[in-house]
Amino acid sequence: MAEKKRGDRIGALVSEVEALAKRLRADIRKRARHAGVDKRLRMTADRMRKLAVMVAAQVEKYAHHVRKELEGGAKPAKRPKSKKRKEPTGPAVTP
């Protein structure tokens, strides 16, 4: 029974925090609109999003490179290939 009450209290607390966060976000948006910085904030947010995408792509590329390096180090060394003799390409000699 005590577990059920605790779960109810936790659920109520989570709901209250969610509602407060939603109200706070709406209040910040309203104040930003009234201050006239909405467009600049949107432009900054878009720029930051683009930069985040670029950083994520670089991290992904680096992680792929590291994985390939680690996998490559585990492979056995290849034997060196013997050099093939080149056949002469000059004019044919007839006796």
Query: Do residues 41 and 32 lie in contact, with contact meaning Cβ atoms separated by under 8 Å?
Result: yes
Q: What is the pLDDT of residues 8-35, one digit of tens each?
A: 777 788 888 888 888 888 887 787 677 6
pLDDT for res 72: 74
Q: What is the pLDDT of residues 54-82, one digit of tens each?
A: 888 888 888 888 877 777 765 566 777 77
pLDDT for res 95: 58
**Separation between Cα atoms, residue 2 and residue 14, nearest integer Å:** 18
pLDDT for res 43: 85
pLDDT for res 69: 79
With 0-12 CB in 10 A as exposed, 13-18 as middle and 19+ as buried, what is 41?
A: middle
Query: Do residues 40 and 48 lie in contact, with contact meaning Cβ atoms separated by under 8 Å?
Result: no
